[in-house]
Structure 1
């Protein structure tokens, strides 16, 4: 053990600037060079000027034709998270049809299953409500993280229980230029164990580890459809950045995950009966607000199978 008088060596700071951006922000809805789409079948009501919109004019209980499917894909690409209300009679089978506009379902190995393959039921009641939540991107601990998710409200509390999303392309756009240079080309390790593993014993963790090893993704990914640069680091699953010392990695991860907490990058949705949300899981993070104790909140989710990130 070193003598008390020995100076303590601190890691060199990554930045000599504040961790959070101050002043005006760039909030672009579209990727550079992209043009705004025209919609013939969908009514678009923005929730913020650049991020999140409620869609109307369609009944999702009916078959989704090619023209509507293309408009849905374009709306999600443009707004990153889209919502529907008053979809009375919407079932798990309708939900699978809707998710199929983007791709096949991708089950979460840690979620309870329902009778419909690919659908996960997320229920929180008086015993579970009030637990800590955290900003995250679904399935980033997988080799091919989910492209998106479709979430429908089965039972909602009379008040509370909203969900928030953060635009991680905007988060990247507003990073200081020296930090963008710093993270360009870096790779992060993602792992389920620090979060889901906290609920398991050693034997259970060892069994899951055989199927779900640690994975690596770029710190900055290019969206697989738009090509737009997006910050891809989240609090529960990103454990470290390769090639850096433990101290440098921890400092840099802490800076990057804070960006999801900036209000200008966020949209908030209040759930009502028969509401549906669809989000781009590469371009966003989300946070389920757990403020409705002792009421009950039941949702059903389908994740959409992903592709390798670059």
Structure 2
């Protein structure tokens, strides 16, 4: 059977079945088109070993375990792969249960990530993604006009560095505008008073996180998912107590 791609009924996400062992040009093109259209691709029971994980991720960018040039950015997690491309994330060491977009505190945030679930709880431990195109497009026109001209600071020193990015970005592939702020890393809007900055960011966070903008995936061991960091946020639900949850992830950079 050939590759099949089925859109989910939510505002983002598609399921990819029959992923071949090796990614040829036609498969890469089909996956790239589906990724641009759906923002998140889910691969049920893909069972990616490290070699296939690296090969698939490499179709979409240059791979790093976390942030290029930040050797201490592994948060006590383990790195695998011939060039340290794969970060293993064990929930017993770190739980990022907050809406966020990965590594926006760097000058050039990643294009996306490809995650392979190794061990997951029997119940709980889902992940949600939010469509940031839709978050921008469903703002009222006056608020869109306001945020179109603003930038925001991302980062939480001393844990991270700080970089400023436009609050609205244009996707280099689709040409669509996306809201580019997230509760995890966006902290301040230069040029506004602290009260104005906090009020506007809180409004945008609440709007972007609305259930109407999201898709939710319930994991099984062997599942994989790939998301576009330029137009999504995600949230790992912390509802599984002491159960084990271990995944491996590559992060793609342009």
Assess same fold via TM > 0.5: yes
C-alpha contact 1:135 1:260 (8 A) present in aligned 2: no
Partner of 1:25: none
Partner of 1:64: 23
Tell me the CA shift for residue 93 of structure 1. 1.6
Q: Spell out structure 1 runs of 4+ moving beyond 3 A.
A: none
RMSD of aligned Cα (Å): 1.8
Partner of 1:14: none
* TM-score in terms of structure 1 length: 0.75
Match of 1:222 among 155, 170, 181: 170
C-alpha contact 1:106 1:146 (8 A) present in aligned 2: no
Write the distance in 2 (CA, Å) between the matches of 1:228 and 1:68: 24
Partner of 2:11: 50
C-alpha contact 2:98 2:183 (8 A) present in aligned 1: yes
Write the distance in 2 (CA, Å) between the matches of 1:213 and 1:264: 32
Q: How many residues align?
A: 245
Match of 2:139 among 152, 175, 179: 175
Tell me the CA shift for residue 41 of structure 1. 4.9
Structure 1: runs of 5+ lacking an equivalent? 1-39, 198-211
Question: Are residues 141 and 132 of structure 1, via their aligned partners in 2, closer, same or farther at CA, if it must alter by over 3 Å?
Answer: closer
Look up the SS of the partner of 1:140 in the other structure.
coil
Structure 2: runs of 5+ lacking an equivalent? none
C-alpha contact 2:132 2:208 (8 A) present in aligned 1: yes
Tell me the CA shift for residue 49 of structure 1. 4.5
Higher alpha-carbon deviation: 111-120 or 63-72: 111-120
Write the distance in 2 (CA, Å) between the matches of 1:213 and 1:132: 18
2:189 paired with 1:241: yes
Write the distance in 1 (CA, Å) between the matches of 2:172 and 2:78: 29
Instruction: Determine which structure has more spread, i.e. the larger CA radius of gyration.
Output: 1
* CA deviation map 1:93-134 (0-9, x unaligned): 211111111111133242223231111111124xx68x6711
Partner of 1:133: 97
C-alpha contact 1:135 1:234 (8 A) present in aligned 2: yes
C-alpha contact 1:220 1:229 (8 A) present in aligned 2: yes
C-alpha contact 1:102 1:304 (8 A) present in aligned 2: yes
2:73 paired with 1:114: no
Partner of 1:75: 34
Partner of 1:7: none
Partner of 2:110: 146
Write the distance in 2 (CA, Å) between the matches of 1:297 and 1:213: 28
C-alpha contact 2:65 2:249 (8 A) present in aligned 1: no
Write the distance in 2 (CA, Å) between the matches of 1:286 and 1:49: 15
Look up the SS of the partner of 1:145 in the other structure.
coil
Write the distance in 1 (CA, Å) between the matches of 2:59 and 2:222: 20
Match of 2:222 among 258, 274, 277: 274
Write the distance in 2 (CA, Å) between the matches of 1:141 and 1:93: 29
Write the distance in 2 (CA, Å) between the matches of 1:299 and 1:158: 15
Tell me the CA shift for residue 263 of structure 1. 0.7
* TM-score in terms of structure 2 length: 0.91
Look up the SS of the partner of 1:105 in the other structure.
strand
Write the distance in 1 (CA, Å) between the matches of 2:96 and 2:52: 31
* CA deviation map 1:145-189 (0-9, x unaligned): 010000001111111111000001001110011101111121111
